[in-house]
Amino acid sequence: MKIAVDAMGSDSHPQPDVEGAVWAAREHDVKIIFVGKQNIVEPELAKHDLSGLDISLVHASEVIEMKEHPAAAAKSKKDSSMVVGMRMLKKGDVDAFVSVGNSGGVLAVALLYLGRIKGVKRPALSAVFPTRKGNCFLLDVGANTDCKPMYLLQFAIMGSVYAERVLGITNPRVAIVSNGEEEGKGNTLVQETYPLLKASGLNFVGNAEGKDIAAGFADVIVTDGFTGNVVVKFAEGVAGFIFDLIKEGILSSPVTKLGGLLAQPAFMQIKKRLDYREYGGVPLLGVDGTVIMGHGRSDSLAIKNAIRAAKQAVEKGTIDAIRDVIAQSLAASSAV
Amino acid sequence: MKIAVDAMGSDSHPQPDVEGAVWAAREHDVKIIFVGKQNIVEPELAKHDLSGLDISLVHASEVIEMKEHPAAAAKSKKDSSMVVGMRMLKKGDVDAFVSVGNSGGVLAVALLYLGRIKGVKRPALSAVFPTRKGNCFLLDVGANTDCKPMYLLQFAIMGSVYAERVLGITNPRVAIVSNGEEEGKGNTLVQETYPLLKASGLNFVGNAEGKDIAAGFADVIVTDGFTGNVVVKFAEGVAGFIFDLIKEGILSSPVTKLGGLLAQPAFMQIKKRLDYREYGGVPLLGVDGTVIMGHGRSDSLAIKNAIRAAKQAVEKGTIDAIRDVIAQSLAASSAV
């Protein structure tokens, strides 16, 4: 299996991108094709022992930066690492493309050069969330700020396939974010989407209130990209705030400081549990190829795990499975 | 000053409601008129020393329960404590009404018996959030799941008045929840509201992403009631989850347990900082009278603080101030 990796993706590229991918090549037995600036990536590659690994580099003279306007950059930077990598995926030269760069950029480049799976109305950005009962897969977290009921239905369908095949969750429970548990609660979008989800054949468990998300109420939770984005960023903000308060509180006296020191193993455990790096990357669902994205802050562990996710998605035939269920869903709705 | 207090509001009514209001009567020098079932409230009142306090009871034979459908209950339960209290406020028999019961119920009863301030399109439920820089006042958190730009503009106007007069924040910074910082980011509602806020004369500081809320980016943050409700409940869920993980981690070994014990003062401090009870109740903004609401889980401290908020709101002429700025805002927009 060949995986193209954007060597210019992470905030501290190319170091984590290269190290993580080389690590993945050895641990997960995949061929890696780096895409990026030759004069920057080659010296980084030289730092690693590549013996026995199938690793190559394709030069791309441009980079879509984190702060750039995604759609404009996708169009103008035709020789960027994202565009070059995505075109390799389109042509079938590689099985998947992994980038932890500008997520709007990956989305725009994928729409432009890869296109959507037939029948898919909109692609969705996704996130994996730690919960009391494991992880939950949330989408859309930012690709579509204004959604229609059919988009959310398709997010649920695609999310279920991914959760089942890549995250290994049998018959995943699907929910929709709402402001109340009961059927009938929600804004107009939720109220109109509810009956579609109910009739979808998915394992739909109903509305998920804000508190239900962390409680582990469902495995796959759909929402519009506006609400999803706010929730994901809010979670980061709240968690960071709480941990900073704890740190501050613990450092406030010698006794609490000693206590904090003794309790440190507990905190390390929690940090690991809440660590986004453990889940690897997340898929861009709905585009016609396996694209795995990640946080710009990704380190080599996160990148290695993103590549593991890409490998699993390809092995489990995720794209073809999505193609099939979307086609079935459209056939069913047109038959009504 | 006379304040009507719903004695049947909290989950464990009438104990916290009565205790908190008696406490407030002594500490904040207000007259309290309890509203509730005489046979239930009187025995509770008998437990307290009421010497020197001006406390009375008005009988109401019905209660709007937490699980009831708000609009239906507001209509049918004409002798409920909420309806009786709200009618006293409407008639001018009291200066404010405080209830920590079913928040949808308070909203429905207020709309039915009190009405809106002239010119206000929709009332808003609100919440106070701890942040890195103090507190932030978020609205709407559930009254209006689908909003129009004008609603959000009015939430900002009303929220600013409340923050300035009751929370004591000079020239409060106002923001709107969005999925990106830059102007132009957001769903259609946010994009259409942005220019209204910019032209409003408020101290508008722009879009607040999810992460900005806890960071203390603004003092007053507006959003539609769907997003606001999801965010508030999500915050509770995430905070509870993190603290449970910490507890679990600390209890996992004798050493971490000892550490936790020594660090306990730090945790108590954080708990206090994040404690919703400290902020007192929150206003129902936009209705034509001072109505303060609170969490059903409120204890006597929370109830006492809710009554303090009611007193401050009345003393500072909040309703009249909102009436004035809304009228000015409507005059300005019709003059354009």
User: In this complex, how many residue pairs, one in chain A and one in chain B, have their CB atoms less than 8 Å apart?
Assistant: 203
On whether both B216 and B304 belong to a single domain, the answer is no
A147, A176, A181, A211: best to mutate for the B interface, most B CBs within 10 A: A211
Residue B1 in this model has a pLDDT that exceeds 90 = yes
Does residue B46 form part of some domain?
yes
* CB–CB contact B236 A211 (8 Å): yes
A129, A223, A230: best to mutate for the B interface, most B CBs within 10 A: A230
Q: What is the bridge-based pairing of β-strands A134-139 and B203-208? A: unpaired
On whether both B85 and B130 belong to a single domain, the answer is no
Please report the pLDDT score of residue B336 as a whole number: 59
User: pLDDT per residue over A157-209, tens digit each?
Assistant: 999 999 999 999 999 999 999 998 889 899 999 999 999 999 999 999 999 99
* CB–CB contact B237 A210 (8 Å): yes
Does residue B43 form part of some domain?
yes
Give the residue with greater pLDDT, B108 vs B276. Answer: B108
Please report the pLDDT score of residue A332 as a whole number: 84
Please report the pLDDT score of residue A276 as a whole number: 66
Q: Which of A177, A241, A263 sits opposite B250 (nearest CB)?
A: A263
Lowest mean pLDDT among A150-154, B122-126, B184-188, B243-247: B243-247
Residue B333 in this model has a pLDDT that exceeds 90 = no
What are the start-end ranges of the E strands in chain A?
2-6, 31-36, 55-59, 96-99, 126-131, 134-139, 173-177, 203-208, 220-222, 282-283, 290-293
Please report the pLDDT score of residue A277 as a whole number: 67
Please report the pLDDT score of residue A259 as a whole number: 92
A214 has a chain B CB within 8 A of its CB: yes
Does residue B250 form part of some domain?
yes
Does residue A264 form part of some domain?
yes
Q: Which domain holds residue B33?
A: 1-120+286-316
**Contact (Cβ atoms closer than 8 angstroms) between residue A249 and residue B270:** yes
- Please tell me the distance from the alpha carbon of residue A324 to that of residue A331, in angstroms, as a whole number: 11
* CB–CB contact B214 A227 (8 Å): no
Which of B228, B94, B93, B217 is CA-nearest to residue B152? B228
Please report the ipTM that was assigned to this predicted complex: 0.90
On whether both B96 and B236 belong to a single domain, the answer is no
Q: Which residues of chain A have pLDDT under 50?
A: none
Shortest CA gap B272–chain A (Å) = 11
On whether both B274 and B296 belong to a single domain, the answer is no
Q: Which of B225, B258, B270 sits opposite A179 (nearest CB)?
A: B225
On whether both A83 and A151 belong to a single domain, the answer is no
The DSSP annotation for B46-93 comes to: TTS--TT--EEEEE--B---TTS-HHHHHHH-TTBHHHHHHHHHHHTS
Please report the pLDDT score of residue A328 as a whole number: 92
Shortest CA gap A152–chain B (Å) = 16
- Among candidate residues A278, A295, A322, the one where a domain is terminated: A278
Shortest CA gap A68–chain B (Å) = 12
Which of B281, B141, B282, B130 is CA-nearest to residue B216? B130
- Please tell me the distance from the alpha carbon of residue B278 to that of residue B263, in angstroms, as a whole number: 22
**Token pair listed for B177:** 């929840």
Residue B179 in this model has a pLDDT that exceeds 80 = yes
Please report the pLDDT score of residue B165 as a whole number: 93
Tally of structural domains, chain B:
2
Query: Is the backbone of residue B295 left (phi > 0), alpha (psi -120 to 50) or beta?
Result: beta
Residue B328 in this model has a pLDDT that exceeds 70 = yes
Q: Which of A179, A244, A260 sits opposite B263 (nearest CB)?
A: A260
Name A124's bridge partners.
Answer: A285
- Please tell me the distance from the alpha carbon of residue A92 to that of residue B191, in angstroms, as a whole number: 40
Does residue B135 form part of some domain?
yes
On whether both A128 and A269 belong to a single domain, the answer is yes
- Please tell me the distance from the alpha carbon of residue A58 to that of residue B288, in angstroms, as a whole number: 68
On whether both A133 and A266 belong to a single domain, the answer is yes
Does residue B95 form part of some domain?
yes
Q: Which of B188, B244, B259 sits opposite A261 (nearest CB)?
A: B259
On whether both A170 and A44 belong to a single domain, the answer is no
On whether both B190 and B221 belong to a single domain, the answer is yes
On whether both A157 and A114 belong to a single domain, the answer is no
CA-based nearest residue in chain A for residue B228: A179
Q: Which residue has the tokens 């059903």?
A: B296
Does residue B61 form part of some domain?
yes
- Among candidate residues B231, B250, B278, the one where a domain is terminated: B278
**Token pair listed for B164:** 């300035």
- Among candidate residues B278, B301, B331, the one where a domain is terminated: B278
* CB–CB contact B146 A209 (8 Å): no
Q: CATH code at A232?
A: 3.40.718.10
Q: What is the mean pLDDT of residues B16-21?
A: 97
Name B31's bridge partners.
Answer: B2
What are the start-end ranges of the E strands in A102-209?
126-131, 134-139, 173-177, 203-208
User: pLDDT per residue over B232-284, tens digit each?
Assistant: 999 888 888 888 888 888 998 999 999 999 998 888 888 777 776 667 799 99
On whether both A153 and A220 belong to a single domain, the answer is yes
* CB–CB contact B231 A245 (8 Å): no
Residue type, B276: Y
**What part of A 271-290 touches B (C-beta under 8 Å)?**
273-274
On whether both A141 and A258 belong to a single domain, the answer is yes
* CB–CB contact B232 A241 (8 Å): no
**Token pair listed for A143:** 């690709």
Please report the pLDDT score of residue A105 as a whole number: 95
Please report the pLDDT score of residue A191 as a whole number: 96
Per CB-CB distance under 8 Å, the chain B contacts of A230 are 177-179, 209-210, 227, 230-231
Does residue A332 form part of some domain?
no
Please report the pLDDT score of residue A154 as a whole number: 97
Shortest CA gap A232–chain B (Å) = 7
